[in-house]
Structure 1
Amino acid sequence: MKIISDPLELKEHLKKSNSSVGFVPTMGALHEGHIALIKRARQENEIVVVSIFVNPTQFLAGEDLDKYPKKDDADKKICELSGVDVLFFPTAEDMYSNDEVKICAPNVRGYVLEGATRPGHFSGVLRVVMKLLNIVSPTRAYFGKKDAQQLNLIRLMVKQFFMDVEIVPVDIVRDSDGLALSSRNVYLSKAQREEALKIPKSLYAASKLISKNILDTVKIKEEMHAILSPLEIKYVEVLNRDFEVIEKVQIGNTVILVEVIVGKTRLLDNIWL
């Protein structure tokens, strides 16, 4: 496995090959969810590139940038064992300059749901993803469905900027107790983790209602709120896959999304129907 930190060096390295490239962008602290992305990329491409970069532009003032989990040595070993060909490991100085052209999230879709309480967050996400995709020029880029709003906006950016890359969504990986894997789960105490299990329970209850042909989104959200209580609920929403509000679940075109705060930890989860 080759480790590269300089963006131009990585571009030059990848230019030498005419092979298909699968790209997995991460912020490190790798877990089984990331490994699932890497495995999918390995199956579908001749070269696999993983980036590890804790992107400062997507963190708001007072958020956990300085405390974000870092496991550099373990991450490198995981990448090596997972068959990664190139690990891109830049610094903020490698990625950003003092006077930058910026990309902004859309005025509506970038400022609802998670964007409503984290204004500017998705502008930072799109900014770094645009840079990474331009550096790697992958055939396919792999993103987890857990960050569904992020995935939706990245796909929108790729479409609207006519970018030549296939965005591949990969299913959520869950721990044995049902909690969606996240690098931020390490922040949870044992008691908080027990409370966090209300999140997958609420999504399971929603899917159970839908299996009984109860498709009214108001009823579904009421049931989920009751299960999630007394957690701090940022949102519970039932949307179509274009992230538009719907009154009835549309099988094959629906996402149910949850964001809650457990202790001081923000947790996201969803199901695609």
Structure 2
Amino acid sequence: MNIIRTKAELRALTEGWRREGKTIGVVPTMGALHAGHLSLVEAACAATDRVIVTLFVNPKQFNSPEDLAKYPRTEHSDAEKLAPYGADILYVPDGAQMYPEGFATTVSVTGVSEALCGATRPGHFDGVATVVAKLLLQTDADQAFFGEKDYQQLQVVRRLAQDLDLKTTIVGCPTVREDDGLAMSSRNLRLSAGARVVAPIIRETLSQAAIEISEGSPIETALQGARSRLTKAGLGEIDYLELRGDPDLTVLTTADRPGRIFVAAWLDGVRLIDNIPVHATSQQERLLEPAE
């Protein structure tokens, strides 16, 4: 696996692949790779001829300079983790490659970006959309692979690819979890041992609320109960805990179509996010069934 650091080097390789008729997949990351990232690499290698993994800690999507400074930089170990998986290139641009002097363009996606993390992290998805648009163009990718743990991000990227007429197909891949149910995240490395014991309550609580809603419990009642369980377990501020439609992320007041429960909560100074699908309630499903 080659490590490439400039757009010129990258373009020379991708142009050669195109002349050979090869398809290209990309897995955009900010490093600190874990099994979730590696599952995306596996999916990319299975679907395309050549695979690029990108590693760039994007300053434009951080709301806090402190959070940016704390984000783990682990290029050497990331390269070692990738070695067995068959990726062709690890693309590691620096800030000058991504945002050269005079850079003045922002990609902004409305609608799906505005609630949830968009409401609590102003400007975050502008930073995501801008860097992803650049990476898709730089890598000339046919397919790009993103995890469903960052489900709102996935929908933002799908929208920008569609609206900007990019040729890249955006592929969503299932959330990968630890054995205890905690969604894998690079931020998990920052949890203390005690907080790490508490963290799986997030998945447990979302699952319980999803069952309650699918069995007909009022949405607000189920979500209030979930919020109470998280607070009692020791989580701090909860940025949001909401049921949203899938995939448009509009607010659902009745579970009459597919949705997802989304949560962002703080634990031990670390912001953790997760989501889980919720199916239509049994009553609603019966109402929607065609008459005999």
Corresponding position of 2:277: 272
- Amino acid across the alignment from 2:33: L
Corresponding position of 1:197: 200
Corresponding position of 2:12: 12
Hey, what's the Cα distance between the residues in 2 that align with 1:155 and 1:94? 24
- Higher mean C-alpha displacement, 53-62 vs 109-118: 109-118
How far has the Cα of 1:15 moved from its partner? 1.2
Counterpart pick for 1:39 among 21, 37, 42: 42
Corresponding position of 1:221: 223
How far has the Cα of 1:211 moved from its partner? 4.5
How far has the Cα of 1:114 moved from its partner? 1.0
Corresponding position of 2:252: 246
* Runs of 4+ with >6 A deviation: none
How far has the Cα of 1:250 moved from its partner? 4.0
> For residues 126-154 of structure 1, what are the alpha-carbon distances to aligned partners after superposition, in whole Å with 9 as ceiling and x for unaligned?
11001000001111100000111111111
Identity %: 37
**Where does the alignment leave 5 or more consecutive residues of structure 2 unmatched?**
279-292
Hey, what's the Cα distance between the residues in 2 that align with 1:195 and 1:178? 11
Question: Is the contact between residue 8 and residue 135 of structure 1 (CA under 8 Å) also seen in structure 2?
Answer: no
Hey, what's the Cα distance between the residues in 1 that align with 2:28 and 2:226? 32
Cα 1:15–1:250 change in 2 (3 A) is farther
Hey, what's the Cα distance between the residues in 2 that align with 1:102 and 1:272? 35
> For residues 176-229 of structure 1, what are the alpha-carbon distances to aligned partners after superposition, in whole Å with 9 as ceiling and x for unaligned?
111100000011112112222221111110232145343x32122122112111
Hey, what's the Cα distance between the residues in 2 that align with 1:53 and 1:107? 24
Hey, what's the Cα distance between the residues in 2 that align with 1:264 and 1:249? 33
How far has the Cα of 1:117 moved from its partner? 1.9
Q: Secondary structure at the match of 2:135?
A: helix
Cα 1:4–1:62 change in 2 (3 A) is closer
TM-score, scaled relative to structure 1? 0.94
How far has the Cα of 1:166 moved from its partner? 0.7
How far has the Cα of 1:47 moved from its partner? 0.8
TM-score, scaled relative to structure 2? 0.88
Hey, what's the Cα distance between the residues in 2 that align with 1:27 and 1:94? 15
- Higher mean C-alpha displacement, 113-122 vs 189-198: 189-198
Counterpart pick for 2:209 among 184, 206, 210: 206
Corresponding position of 2:118: 115
Cα 1:57–1:266 change in 2 (3 A) is same
Larger helix proportion, structure 1 or 2? 2
Question: Is the contact between residue 205 and residue 223 of structure 1 (CA under 8 Å) also seen in structure 2?
Answer: no
Matches within 5 A, 1:130-145: 130-145=133-148
- Amino acid across the alignment from 1:268: I
Q: Tell me whether 1:3 sits opposite 2:3 in the alignment.
A: yes
- Amino acid across the alignment from 1:227: R
How far has the Cα of 1:23 moved from its partner? 0.7
- Amino acid across the alignment from 1:202: T
How far has the Cα of 1:79 moved from its partner? 1.4
Matches within 5 A, 1:4-153: 4-17=4-17, 18-153=21-156
**Where does the alignment leave 5 or more consecutive residues of structure 1 unmatched?**
none
Hey, what's the Cα distance between the residues in 2 that align with 1:95 and 1:139? 20
Q: Tell me whether 1:188 sits opposite 2:188 in the alignment.
A: no
- Higher mean C-alpha displacement, 232-241 vs 59-68: 59-68
- Amino acid across the alignment from 2:100: S
How far has the Cα of 1:99 moved from its partner? 1.8
> For residues 53-101 of structure 1, what are the alpha-carbon distances to aligned partners after superposition, in whole Å with 9 as ceiling and x for unaligned?
1111111233411121122111101111111111101111111122223
How far has the Cα of 1:107 moved from its partner? 4.5
Over the aligned positions, Cα root-mean-square deviation in angstroms equals 1.5
